[in-house]
Amino acid sequence: MYSCPSNSKVWSHLPPPIFIKDHCFPSKYIMATSRFFMPPSASTWNKSKVSLQRVNITSNAIQKTVRFSVINCSLKINLHAQPALNGEIRVPSVIKEMENEEITSLSVAGRLVKGGLVFQQDVSVRSFEIDSEYKMSTKAIMNYLQEASLNYAKKLGLTIDTCFGITPGMRKMDLVWVFRGMHIEVDRYPCWGEVVQILHWTCASGRTGVRFDWTINDINTGETQVRASCLAVMMNKNTRKTCKLPEEVKDEIKAYLRVDVEPIVEVFRYSCPQIEAMDHIKTGLTPGWNDLDVNYHVNNAKYLDWILESTPDSIRDRHELWKINFEHRKECLKEDVIQSLSRVIPNNEKNRGIEVDHDLRLESGHQILRARTVWRTIPTPAGASPA
């Protein structure tokens, strides 16, 4: 067993190297050069060493290759020997191959369950995804829902490489997915550091679209924290108009569409108020480059920012979003200028929360989105006294 030279500047800030018989493998090469290498569990790492079993050695005039196996996977390492201190052979190794279904599947986040009809992905709530209350923001929730949908399509092999959730049939007809309506209900917001599990599945929805359903659950207790459902339809990239779901695309995805499954969120219907009834208005809102998605229109989560612009501070400061209902009417592009209008709906039922109607319009007058949000009083943490 060798020891790391204490006077080496290169090694001083790195994790301890891994020593395998006559070869020294710096930890940075094992961890940084492999896209898929992750220790199966913390217990398999023993500070400065890990036990690998050598399988065989092959060599030619150009390079020498050593194959090792660890746990249930194997890896092949190219050895380029360099001069070493204290008789070591220090190897700047590049992991060429890892043959393990569970580990390589990490190249696409998540896994398929229930015969491929449900997609499952575990995520940890990170510091840049939380609000002032240390809870996952509603916008982060919306982004995770979209990410799960795209990972599901990729995991099924339906997505063409480098294309954003586009099947071969969609690419042929210049079609993309767009959300027509989205409904989200938050029972409890995940907090910073919590690990949650996203479940996602798709269902047929008439002849025009597909319904996406999600739940976000506490990974330890199984408690459902968020439920969401949306209708996705086809849009032609050239005409920018929606269209019916083509038969070719139906054939590509029908094996993964669940039937006779009710929406995970009950859709509440409401009538759009007249613009004269809106008593809170914010004008001059414009999208930035970072607000556009790969279809060059405004990302779905950006609309939430805009409807909050005209929501009264008295509601936002003392309440949290409970339910969201979006109905998209028209896409929003980079050069558009937006007006955000809202109106608080009077009601005397405490259990219903505070309801707010929202309307996003172009300055030209065209409606791009209408929405209704429901707000509830921010829950008092356990053990804390109400303010």
Residues designated catalytic: 295, 297, 332
| Distance between CA atoms of residues 205 and 262, nearest Å | 11
Point out which residues pair with 358 in neighbouring strands: 342, 371
Q: What is the helix, strand, coil percentage profile of the chain, to 5?
A: 20, 40, 40
Nearest by Cα to 123 from 100, 139, 138, 140: 140
Question: Which runs of consecutive H residues, i.e. helices, occur in 13-162?
Answer: 27-32, 101-104, 138-156
Across 311-346, b (16+ Cβ under 10 Å) vs e yields: beeebeeebbbbbbbbbbeebbeeebebbbbbbbee
Give Cβ neighbours of residue 161 (< 8 Å, ≥ 6 apart). Answer: none
* Cβ atoms < 10 Å from Cβ of 278: 18
| Distance between CA atoms of residues 228 and 324, nearest Å | 9
| Residue found by looking up tokens 């007809």 in the block | 173
- Tell me the one-letter amino acid at 275: I
What single DSSP character describes residue 216? E
Nearest by Cα to 369 from 383, 379, 358, 377: 358
